[in-house]
Amino acid sequence: MVDGMDVAHEMVLWKVEPQCSIAEADDFERLSRLLDRPRVKIERKLSFDERSLSELSVTGNLRPVDSYDSMCSPGAGRSALDTPVSLARNSFEPHPMVGEAWDALRRSIVFFRGQPVGTIAAIDHASEEVLNYDQVFVRDFVPSAMAFLMNGEPDIVKNFLLKTLHLQSWEKRIDRFKLGEGVMPASFKVNHDPVRKTDTLMADFGESAIGRVAPVDSGFWWIILLRAYTKSTGDLSLAETPECQKGIRLILSLCLSEGFDTFPTLLCADGCSMIDRRMGVYGYPIEIQALFFMALRCALAMLKPDVEGKEFMERILTRLNALGYHMRSYFWLDFQQLNDIYRYKTEEYSHTAVNKFNVIPDSIPDWIFDFMPSRGGYFVGNVSPAKMDFRWFALGNCIAILSSLATPEQSVAIMDLIEERWEELVGIMPLKISYPALEGHEWNIVTGCDPKNTRWSYHNGGSWPVLLWLLTAACIKTGRPQIARRAIELAESRLWKDGWPEYYDGKLGRYIGKQARKFQTWSIAGYLVSKMMLEDPSHLGMISLEEEKVKKPPIRRSASWTA
């Protein structure tokens, strides 16, 4: 989480507030009126993968699924007892945590001019400092959005998508530098004026972030969430509006622009994603590459094939081919690949070089030799010239499975690794955000002696309950729901009693994080989404993409061909 919003930043945001708040009401209301027409009902045949998922039940019995509409939770609404619809459909008694979690999630809802537009990061009344935990973060809202979609409450998600889309159009400056037009905010805050009875917005595009880094992942999560909304509701009208189409293209323009890059991966600074502090992930972090791949695939499915859309679709196809090959070839690590790297020759200068990134075998950390099982594998944290970060990062590997960046064999291997190294990666409280922790001199150099990212704490090997929903989705997709059930049972043993902490500390995740906020919204939402997906695996379709052979971009002859 980004730390602090200082007084100077408050003043800067206040200056832009009046000019933005005057126009935003008209835009928001106009879009809302445009979208508040009858939803398009889509009937389509299910693919084999979707059919097999939707036919699953918790007991393993088959149940028929006649159409896409039967997969959508919105059609069912909520039960008379005001319990989540996914629980109402099943006969077994829900865990007592579920009701408490829903109550806590609803208390976190933020309203803008009477409409729900998101959920704040945390409601920790015991904490003296609010910092920016009273804001709506784009990445934090995703599990909340998934919970509401699965429970048949899409309006808050639609409002959030529209409001953040409007914020994208704001002029974004840090000091004297203007950010790209397509940058999405890291977060926004609703200011209520009880005297004037008005609501205004403040947005943070990285001006107050640690190191003043723009959130690279926000735009990707927005595209992924737009696709999830469309998938859940069957409502194509939102994604097809000119405003949403333009928003998608603006985000893609930032990522697909040509430059000096020799790799299809995105070059990023430290602190540009969930790990928003200095943790040595600068370069080509797996989290960003996996989200990038997934956002490209989601955008490809939602872009309209008009003149502008076709151009972007061709560029997306080109990038997907290159990015998929690059990640599967150079980021993947298993026992055999580790042994190959261990035997690498260096200083190879030719097109036939095996050690293409000139990774020095002596730079391989000692821990990886004992950690790597004979069965299993994962995508390493980072690969760039003469650098390979062998650390495990949970979010990037889960997204790799869900987006089908990982091949079916690689997806199975990631699940095998989690089972083989359960104590290290899951422990007592799921799930390790990274493994292992940086310690000693390495911690001094890489984190800059960060007092918040000490060993086995926060981003440095801390355990984050929010990651449970991504683990559950990955488990269901790979046919390993028992892994998710085991992890959920661990969470249920403590998470509610401990007050829904943001993260846990220690090698096994035994201790509530030293600076962890209580009633952290995405810890609550992550648990709910995990439960609902296990009880109704058809929900997986919102966040999972089937494997497909990416079409090769058309080959165009140059003008000199016929000259």
Query: What digits encode the pLDDT tens for the residues 282-332?
Result: 999 999 999 999 999 999 999 999 999 999 999 999 999 999 999 999 999
Give the per-residue pLDDT at 293. Answer: 98
Distance from CA of residue 339 to its chain's centroid?
32
Which is it for the CA torsion 228, 231, 235, 241, positive or negative?
A: positive
Tell me how long the chain is: 563
Tens digit of each residue's pLDDT (9 = 90 or more) over 89-105: 444 468 899 999 999 99
| β-bridge partners, 177 | 174
Give the per-residue pLDDT at 132. Answer: 84
> Domain for residue 40, yes or no?
no
The mean per-residue pLDDT over the stretch 414-441 comes to 98
DSSP assignment string, 11-56: HHHHHHHHHHHHHHHHHHHHHHHHH-SPPPP---PPPHHHHHHHT-
Please say whether the beta carbons of 233 and 76 come within 8 A.
Answer: no
Please state which of the ranges 25-29, 213-217, 423-427 shows the lowest mean pLDDT.
25-29
Tens digit of each residue's pLDDT (9 = 90 or more) over 333-383: 999 999 999 999 999 888 889 999 999 999 999 999 999 999 999 999 999
Give the per-residue pLDDT at 505. Answer: 98
The mean per-residue pLDDT over the stretch 483-498 comes to 97
Q: Around Cβ 329, how many Cβ atoms within 10 Å?
A: 11
Give the per-residue pLDDT at 552. Answer: 60
Query: 27 pLDDT band (50/70/90 cuts)?
Result: low
Give the C-alpha separation, 126 to 103, whole Å. Answer: 18
Tens digit of each residue's pLDDT (9 = 90 or more) over 63-72: 333 333 333 3
Give the C-alpha separation, 320 to 299, whole Å. Answer: 12
What φ, ψ does residue 505 adopt, rounded to 5°? -110, 165
> Domain for residue 202, yes or no?
yes
Please say whether the beta carbons of 190 and 111 come within 8 A.
Answer: yes
Give the per-residue pLDDT at 128. Answer: 62
Please state which of the ranges 206-215, 227-236, 293-302, 425-434 shows the lowest mean pLDDT.
206-215
Could you tell me which residues come within 8 angstroms of residue 491 by beta carbon, excluding any fewer than 6 positions away?
429, 430, 465, 468, 527, 530
Give the C-alpha separation, 449 to 94, whole Å. Answer: 44
Query: 551 pLDDT band (50/70/90 cuts)?
Result: low
| pLDDT value at 5 more than 80 | no
Smallest Cα–Cα separation from 381: which of 474, 281, 249, 530? 281
Query: 557 pLDDT band (50/70/90 cuts)?
Result: low
> Domain for residue 285, yes or no?
yes
Which is it for the CA torsion 282, 284, 287, 288, positive or negative?
A: positive
> Domain for residue 23, yes or no?
no
Please give the mean pLDDT across all residues of the chain.
85
What φ, ψ does residue 174 adopt, rounded to 5°? -125, 115
> Domain for residue 406, yes or no?
yes
| β-bridge partners, 116 | 111
The larger pLDDT score, comparing residue 487 to residue 74, is at: 487
| pLDDT value at 239 more than 90 | yes
| pLDDT value at 211 more than 70 | yes
Give the per-residue pLDDT at 124. Answer: 80
Q: What is the DSSP letter of 199?
A: E
505: tokens are 């500390």
Give the per-residue pLDDT at 171. Answer: 85
| pLDDT value at 83 more than 50 | no
The larger pLDDT score, comparing residue 17 to residue 495, is at: 495
> Domain for residue 46, yes or no?
no
- Structural domain range at position 319: 96-542
Return the ∠ at Cα 26 (arms to 25 and 31), rounded to 5°. Answer: 100
DSSP reduced 3-state for 387: strand
The larger pLDDT score, comparing residue 501 to residue 53, is at: 501
Residue type, 330: Y
Where does 212-309 show beta strands of DSSP type E? none
Give the C-alpha separation, 357 to 270, whole Å. Answer: 21
Tens digit of each residue's pLDDT (9 = 90 or more) over 132-186: 899 999 999 999 999 999 999 999 999 999 999 999 988 888 888 888 899 999 9
Give the per-residue pLDDT at 519. Answer: 96
> Domain for residue 312, yes or no?
yes
Residue type, 239: A
| pLDDT value at 508 more than 70 | yes
| pLDDT value at 3 more than 50 | no
Please state which of the ranges 90-94, 225-229, 270-274, 343-347 shows the lowest mean pLDDT.
90-94
Query: 36 pLDDT band (50/70/90 cuts)?
Result: low
Give the C-alpha separation, 508 to 477, whole Å. Answer: 26
Smallest Cα–Cα separation from 421: which of 456, 396, 392? 392
Give the C-alpha separation, 179 to 187, whole Å. Answer: 16
Query: 416 pLDDT band (50/70/90 cuts)?
Result: very high
| pLDDT value at 277 more than 50 | yes
Query: 249 pLDDT band (50/70/90 cuts)?
Result: very high
CATH code: domain of residue 216 = 1.50.10.10
Please say whether the beta carbons of 500 and 491 come within 8 A.
Answer: no
Smallest Cα–Cα separation from 133: which of 520, 524, 515? 520
Please say whether the beta carbons of 477 and 483 come within 8 A.
Answer: no
Give the C-alpha separation, 151 to 149, whole Å. Answer: 5
The mean per-residue pLDDT over the stretch 3-27 comes to 41
Query: 60 pLDDT band (50/70/90 cuts)?
Result: very low
Domain count, the chain: 1
> Domain for residue 530, yes or no?
yes
The upper half-sphere exposure of residue 137, i.e. CA atoms within 13 Å in the direction of its Cβ, equals 22
Please say whether the beta carbons of 425 and 467 come within 8 A.
Answer: no
Helix (H) or strand (E) holding 249: helix 242-256
The larger pLDDT score, comparing residue 17 to residue 267, is at: 267
